[in-house]
């Protein structure tokens, strides 16, 4: 941290800008470098919010906020905290999707590390060039599967930057101790390769042998440089995401948010929905449209929860139906991955069916829960939803695909087709649904309910691993905070203004589970430790 003078004034992590007092200006060598007025951080927030409000488009607002973060991190996070519901979709989904697509165009200042394949012989040097020595959380992507937008190459860096902003905003992770990383292994996006402004390695993606060797070298460098850091994998292609997670989850402190975070927040919403529906998850028939890494991750956590509720592994498997573009996953298909095969139904169960598409599954199975992680817009058709709603009093329907344009159905459609009986949570933000003259907020299964709490938990507890039990207890604690438990007309997940406090409760439960699992040190005052660990956007 710069001690004084011009460098202190322009250090984004420690500056106060016009909030430096006259005495501080003299002490730190800032006298004359600022206008005479002394502002409070509240006055700075009010002024900055006015500037933000004048930006006409969401992408313009995104660029403005990123510029503010580059200038004054404390003010950036205070502004976000005071306008959380309004700014969350700007700094992350859905606006971050467009920001990734236009990353090279809107690029202003470097943030994080770009680990490029041509520099593969110098990975330790790259890691040692990180802006700050001590790091608690890394978010890394290779840009191949950004939201539902596909391969964005180096543009994928917008995701780790955005995720880490939420680690700080919601989870209280010190922004000085976060590090976004982009593994630049090329791109198969022709539009990016032909764009003269493209800032990444202008090369097709490398083959799997070179790819896995590169990832292995990267992990080795991280372990040597930052052995205690939490490494979160983000937006990797389905073919790579699960193998990478399985390879490293028992070697270092790591998790995959698309697989485990998505699963935990979906399970959290399901906890509340099942209680409102009056039918435990273990007694539901669950259908998932989408059998990629995220979909399979959700089903795996559902299976674990069903077992925890008393079913055998085989009994749980009988209640889970996964559908992909080719139809129901069945044991006679030869195109399934090992993780998909775990959820393949016996082909004999479809005997007499006219087909195995989603509509056929809903027609032939007593479905109570319908989930979507397919990015197939409109896949939950009126006919499918109405047939499902005829089977149960409170159908549970979660169109979870991102961004909004890829959602399997819109909440207002689901509400209309089910006569207001559907218990709905989405993956993207949607406007409230109007029913009986009232506005009903739609729960968004945003991973922000989970991953910042995981970061806070492992940072506070000193955990060395992220276990399945830690993720399930995160989901359970989130489910217990469902407003719908007190009033079935309320949404399934807490309001955004309550999320930081809910994250603290989740982090405490997760830290306690880490101790039970033997991956964290015992602490008689763990709840207090978690709260004490939180960074807050206040000038020091």
Mean pLDDT along residues 48-60: 97
Q: Is the pTM here over 0.85, yes or no?
A: yes
Query: Binding site for (S)-malate: residue ranges?
Result: 145, 402, 446
Domain ends where: 45, 70, 89? 89
3-state secondary structure of 230: strand
Mean pLDDT along residues 341-352: 97
**Among residues of the chain, what percentage have pLDDT more than 90?**
94
Residue 448 has pLDDT above 70, yes or no: yes
- Residue 275 near residue 490, CB atoms below 8 Å: no
Q: Do residues 286 and 431 both lie within one domain? A: yes
Report the pLDDT value the prediction gives residue 347, as an integer from 0 to 100: 97
Report the pLDDT value the prediction gives residue 91, as an integer from 0 to 100: 95
Q: What would you measure as the largest C-alpha separation in the chain, in angstroms?
A: 84
Q: Is 92 annotated as catalytic?
A: yes
Strands (DSSP E) contained in 142-189 are: 178-184
pLDDT tens digits along 126-144: 999 999 999 999 999 999 9
- Residue 74 near residue 538, CB atoms below 8 Å: yes
pLDDT tens digits along 160-191: 999 999 999 999 999 999 999 999 999 999 99
How does DSSP classify residue 294?
A: H
Q: Is the dihedral of CA 73, 79, 85, 86 positive or negative?
A: negative
Q: Do residues 307 and 340 both lie within one domain? A: yes
Residue 532: inside a domain: no
Report the pLDDT value the prediction gives residue 84, as an integer from 0 to 100: 95
3-state secondary structure of 352: coil
Considering the chain, what is the average pLDDT of its residues?
A: 96
Q: Do residues 364 and 498 both lie within one domain? A: no
Report the pLDDT value the prediction gives residue 1, as an integer from 0 to 100: 61
pLDDT tens digits along 71-113: 999 999 999 999 999 999 899 988 999 999 999 999 999 999 9
Q: Which residues have a Cβ under 8 Å from the Cβ of 201 and sit 6 or more positions away?
A: 116, 117, 118, 154, 184, 185, 186
Q: What range defines the domain where residue 103 resides?
A: 95-252
Query: Binding site: residue ranges?
Result: 145, 234-235, 258, 402, 446
**HEC secondary structure over 87-125:** HHHHHCCCHHHHHHHCHHHHCCCCCCEEEEHHHHHHHHH
Mean pLDDT along residues 359-381: 97
- Residue 302 near residue 281, CB atoms below 8 Å: yes
Q: Do residues 217 and 170 both lie within one domain? A: yes
Q: Do residues 175 and 235 both lie within one domain? A: yes
Q: Do residues 28 and 81 both lie within one domain? A: yes
- Write down the catalytic residue from 16, 61, 77, 92: 92
Task: Provide the CATH number for the domain around residue 133.
Answer: 3.40.50.10380
| CA angle centred on 518, ends 516 and 520, rounded to 5° | 95
Q: Do residues 218 and 156 both lie within one domain? A: yes
List the alpha helices (DSSP H) in 10-157: 22-27, 41-53, 58-71, 73-82, 84-91, 95-101, 103-106, 123-128
pLDDT tens digits along 258-317: 999 999 999 999 999 999 999 999 999 999 999 998 999 999 999 999 999 999 999 999
- Write down the catalytic residue from 16, 61, 114, 163: 163
Report the pLDDT value the prediction gives residue 238, as an integer from 0 to 100: 85
Q: Do residues 369 and 453 both lie within one domain? A: no
Q: Is 163 annotated as catalytic?
A: yes
Q: How many CB atoms lie within 10 A of CB 107?
A: 17
Residue 39 has pLDDT above 70, yes or no: yes
Query: Binding site for a divalent metal cation: residue ranges?
Result: 234-235, 258
What are the beta bridge partners of residue 372? Answer: 289, 399
């Amino acid at each position: 941290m710069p001690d004084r003078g011009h460098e202190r004034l322009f250090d984004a992590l420690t500056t106060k800008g016009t909030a430096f007092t006259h005495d501080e200006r003299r002490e730190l060598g800032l006298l004359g470098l600022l206008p005479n007025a002394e502002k409070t951080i509240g006055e700075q927030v009010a002024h900055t919010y006015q500037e933000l409000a004048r930006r006409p488009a969401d992408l313009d607002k995104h660029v403005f906020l990123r510029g503010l973060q580059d200038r004054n991190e404390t003010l950036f996070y205070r502004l976000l905290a005071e306008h959380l519901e309004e700014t969350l979709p700007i700094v992350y989904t859905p606006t971050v999707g467009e920001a990734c697509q236009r990353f090279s165009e809107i690029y202003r200042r470097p943030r994080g590390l770009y680990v490029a394949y041509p520099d593969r012989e110098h990975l330790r040097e790259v890691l040692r060039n990180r802006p700050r020595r001590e790091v608690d959380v890394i978010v890394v992507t290779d840009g191949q599967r950004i939201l539902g937008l596909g391969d964005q190459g180096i543009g994928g860096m917008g995701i780790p930057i955005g995720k880490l902003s939420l680690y700080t905003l919601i989870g209280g992770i010190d922004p000085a101790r976060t590090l976004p990383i982009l593994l630049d292994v090329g791109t198969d996006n022709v539009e990016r390769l032909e764009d003269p402004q493209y800032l990444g390695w202008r090369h097709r993606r490398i083959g799997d042998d070179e790819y896995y060797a590169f990832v292995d070298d990267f992990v080795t460098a991280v372990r040597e440089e930052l052995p205690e850091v939490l490494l979160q994998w983000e937006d990797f292609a389905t073919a790579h995401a699960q193998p990478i997670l399985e390879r490293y989850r028992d070697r270092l402190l790591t998790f995959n948010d698309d697989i485990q975070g998505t699963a935990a927040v979906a399970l959290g919403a399901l906890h509340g929905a099942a209680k409102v529906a009056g039918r435990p998850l273990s007694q539901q028939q669950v259908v998932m449209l989408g059998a990629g890494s995220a979909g399979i991750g959700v089903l795996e956590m559902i299976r674990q929860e069903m077992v925890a509720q008393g079913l055998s592994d085989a009994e749980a498997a009988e209640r889970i139906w996964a559908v992909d573009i080719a139809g129901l996953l069945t044991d006679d298909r030869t195109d399934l991955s090992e993780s998909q095969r775990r959820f393949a139904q016996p082909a004999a169960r479809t005997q007499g069916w006219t087909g195995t598409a989603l509509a056929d599954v809903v027609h032939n199975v007593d479905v109570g829960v319908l989930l979507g992680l397919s990015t197939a817009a409109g896949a939950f058709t009126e006919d499918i939803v109405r047939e499902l709603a005829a089977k149960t009093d409170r159908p549970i329907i979660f169109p979870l695909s991102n961004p909004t344009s890829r959602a399997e159905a819109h909440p207002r459609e689901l509400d209309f087709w089910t006569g207001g009986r559907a218990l709905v949570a989405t993956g993207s933000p949607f406007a409230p649904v109007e029913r009986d003259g009232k506005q009903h907020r739609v729960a968004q299964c945003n991973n922000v309910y989970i991953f910042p709490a995981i970061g806070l938990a492992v940072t506070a507890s000193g955990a060395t691993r992220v276990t399945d039990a830690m993720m399930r207890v995160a989901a359970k604690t989130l489910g217990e905070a469902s407003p719908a438990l007190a009033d079935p007309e309320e949404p399934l997940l807490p309001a955004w203004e309550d999320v930081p406090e809910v994250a603290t409760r989740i982090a405490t439960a997760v830290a306690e589970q880490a101790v039970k699992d033997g991956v964290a040190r015992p602490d008689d005052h763990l709840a207090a430790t978690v709260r004490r660990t939180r960074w807050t956007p206040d000038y020091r």
